Each structure stands twice: as C-alpha cells, then as structure tokens.
C-alpha cells in the first residue's frame, strides 16, 4: 500500500520511492521547491537510465544538487 503522500507524484517516481527506502528518505528531506524540481526532472526523463539516475541522486549519500549539473561522464 502506498503512502498518501505519493498520490500526487508521477507513477514512476512514486513506485521508485516505495521500493527504495534510501531514495524516499532523501526525497522526504528536500524542500518543497527541490521536490518540485525532482518531479519535473522525472516527468522529463526519456529513458529508464535517466530515471534511475534521478532516483539514485535522492539517496542521502548522494548530493541532490549534482542532479541539476547535467549528464555525468563516468
């Protein structure tokens, strides 16, 4: 069962957060503005790899600011 807070998220993002506790903790720790940026990035994601990169960036061990620097090379 999904939490009520996932109701307004894109399906792919809500599923990923439901299955990845680290990403959920990271997402929950974002400001509302940062959450909106992540949601927009997820809506614009064209590939599974791009979506995976966005979700991975939500882990508290990663820096969310790195998500907005563009594609990484390595």
CB 41 within 8 A of CB 12: no
Number of domains in the chain: 1
Residue-wise pLDDT for 63-72, tens only, equals: 555 556 555 5
Quote the CA–CA distance of 12 and 17 in Å, as a whole number.
Answer: 9
For residue range 2-34, list pLDDT tens digits in order.
444 666 788 889 999 999 999 999 999 999 999
Provide the residue range defining the domain that includes 53.
33-59
How far is it, in rounded angstroms, from Cα 62 to Cα 41? 16
In a domain, 46, yes or no: yes
Q: What is the C-alpha to C-alpha distance for residues 29 and 23, in angstroms, rounded to an integer?
A: 10
Nearest-angstrom CA–CA distance, 74 and 54: 15
Give yes or no for a contact between 18 and 28, defined as CB atoms under 8 angstroms apart.
no
Examine residue 43 and state whether it is found in any structural domain, yes or no.
Answer: yes
pTM of the model as a whole: 0.70
Q: Report yes or no on 20 lying in a domain.
A: no
Q: Is residue 47 situated within a structural domain? A: yes
């Amino acid at each position: 069962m999904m939490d009520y807070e996932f109701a307004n998220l894109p399906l792919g993002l809500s599923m990923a957060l439901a299955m990845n506790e680290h990403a959920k903790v990271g997402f929950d720790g974002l400001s509302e503005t940062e959450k909106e940026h992540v949601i927009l990035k997820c809506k614009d994601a064209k590939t599974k790899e791009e979506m995976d990169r966005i979700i991975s960036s939500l882990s508290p061990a990663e820096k969310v600011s790195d998500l907005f620097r563009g594609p990484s090379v390595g």
